[in-house]
Structure 1
Amino acid sequence: MTENTDATGSGGGSGTTVAERPMVRIEDLHRSYGSGAAAVHALRGVSFEVPRGELVALKGRSGSGKTTLLNLVGGLDSPDSGRITVDGTDLSALGEKGLLELRRDRIGFIFQSFGLIPILTAAENVGVPMRLRKADPREREDRVSLLLSLVGLADHAAQRPGELSGGQQQRVAIARALANRPALLIADEPTGQLDAETGLAVMELMRAVVHSEGVTAIVATHDAQLLGLADRVLELSDGHIIEHA
Structure 2
Amino acid sequence: MTAPLLTVAGVHRTFGSGPAAVHALDDISFEVEPGTMVALVGRSGSGKTTLLNVIGGLDRPDAGSVTVDGVDVTGLDEDGLSRLRREKVSYVFQTFGLIPVLSAAENVGVPLRLARAEAAERERRVELLLELVGLADHARQRPGELSGGQQQRVAIARALAASPRLLIADEPTGQLDAETGLAVMALLRGIVESEGVTALVSTHDPVMMALADRVIQIADGHLLP
Q: Secondary structure at the match of 1:64?
A: coil
| Structure 1: gaps (5+ residues) | 1-15
| More contact order relative to length (CA 8 Å, sep ≥ 6) | 2
What root-mean-square deviation, in Å, do the aligned CA atoms of Structure 1 and Structure 2 show?
0.9
Residue correspondence of structure 1 range 87-102 to structure 2 within 5 A = 87-102=69-84
User: What whole-Å deviation, never above 9, does each CA across 1:117-160 have from its counterpart, x for those lacking one?
Assistant: 11110000000011111110000000000000000000100111
- AA aligned opposite 2:89: I
| Alpha-carbon distance in structure 2 between the residues aligned to 1:141 and 1:181 | 15
| Alpha-carbon distance in structure 2 between the residues aligned to 1:71 and 1:104 | 15
Following superposition, the deviation at residue 21 of structure 1 comes to 1.2
Following superposition, the deviation at residue 92 of structure 1 comes to 2.5
Give the alignment's TM-score, normalised by structure 2: 0.98
- AA aligned opposite 2:39: A
- AA aligned opposite 1:199: G
> Which residue of structure 2 lines up, in the alignment, with residue 147 of structure 1?
129
> Which residue of structure 2 lines up, in the alignment, with residue 182 of structure 1?
164
Query: Are 2:62 and 1:80 aligned?
Result: yes
| Alpha-carbon distance in structure 1 between the residues aligned to 2:172 and 2:23 | 25
Q: Secondary structure at the match of 1:92?
A: helix
Q: Hey, which of these two has a bigger chunk of helix by percent?
A: 2
The runs of at least 4 aligned residues of structure 1 exceeding 2 Å deviation read: none
> Which residue of structure 1 lines up, in the alignment, with residue 17 of structure 2?
35
| Alpha-carbon distance in structure 2 between the residues aligned to 1:106 and 1:197 | 31
| Alpha-carbon distance in structure 2 between the residues aligned to 1:126 and 1:102 | 18
| Alpha-carbon distance in structure 2 between the residues aligned to 1:236 and 1:164 | 34
Provide the aligned length of Structure 1 versus Structure 2.
225
Q: Secondary structure at the match of 2:140?
A: coil
Query: Are 2:132 and 1:132 aligned?
Result: no
User: What whole-Å deviation, never above 9, does each CA across 1:199-245 have from its counterpart, x for those lacking one?
Assistant: 010000001001100000000001112211111000101211125xx
| Alpha-carbon distance in structure 2 between the residues aligned to 1:136 and 1:190 | 30
Query: Are 2:99 and 1:117 aligned?
Result: yes
Q: Secondary structure at the match of 1:228?
A: helix
Q: Secondary structure at the match of 2:211?
A: coil
| Structure 2: gaps (5+ residues) | none
